[in-house]
Amino acid sequence: MNYRIIDKEKYYRKGVYRHFTEDCKCSVSMTARIDVTDTVRLSKQRNTKFYIDFLYVLTKVLNSRDDYKMSYLWQSDELICYDVINPTQYIFHEDTETCTPVYSRYYDDYETFYRCALDDIEKAKQTREYGLDAENHPNWFDASYVSWLSYDSLNVELPDGYLYFLPIVNWGRYREENGRLMMPVTVRLNHAVADGFLIANVFRLIEKELTAFTEEMHAKDND
């Protein structure tokens, strides 16, 4: 885990950061539907899990810009930016109706990421412990699939005044709309480090990266 300390006096969002860490501590949550038709079709053709394929794209997107890798060290009142952030996925156990957090690592290489994430899932299926260990996983962000519903909105609440800067991302079941498969995705970020543009940009980047990922996989398969 490596990070650099951000000079708050030189931070390009200095005024916004001060306001939303001192005067009005709050977060912003946005939900939009993303077209996943081609990626779902690709996953079926390649016999891969769409869930992991999407998790890879999402994690790649969030690592593509420093704004999505920010964190706050309350012990020293420091704003930092991690070199890499990793996904905390959640596995649901049908028998106990409980979840187990799964700390997976991000690898830019898709094949490595897929293999390791799948292995993490299989190991998590063997336990029923909650196993949350945020203290030893500071640069992990929440990535949770709401598999039971294709929802229209979702909001994640954190305690007032709690300066948590890492993204919290949820997504639900995709559903057919006008011949396309549309999937709800919710992105939550602290307003101190992200505004409407930066949050909306996550969706734009996901859509762009899904297209690039699908084209890249097709090209590999046709070699």
Distances (CA, A) of 169 to 28, 44, 58, 95, 154: 12, 24, 9, 25, 10
Radius of gyration of the chain (CA): 18
For the segment 80-116, what is each residue's pLDDT rounded down to a tens digit? Answer: 999 999 999 999 999 999 999 999 999 999 999 999 9
Strands 168-172 and 140-146, bridge-based pairing: parallel
Quote the pTM value.
Answer: 0.96
Amino acid identity of residue 15, one-letter, is G
Q: Are the C-beta atoms of 17 and 163 separated by less than 8 Å?
A: no
How many folded domains does the chain comprise? 1
Q: What pLDDT is recorded for position 156?
A: 87
Query: Would you state the structure tokens that stand for residue 70, as one six-digit string?
Result: 């920010």
Q: Which domain holds residue 31?
A: 3-221
Q: What pLDDT is recorded for position 169?
A: 98
Q: Nearest Cα to 50, choosing from 61, 40, 59, 60?
A: 40
Residues β-bridged to residue 189: 28
The CATH number given to whatever domain includes residue 143 is 3.30.559.10
Strands 78-82 and 3-5, bridge-based pairing: antiparallel
Angle made by CA atoms 206, 154, 50, in degrees to the nearest 5: 40
The residue-averaged pLDDT of 76-82 equals: 97
The residue-averaged pLDDT of 39-50 equals: 97
What letter would DSSP give residue 44? H
Q: What pLDDT is recorded for position 112?
A: 98
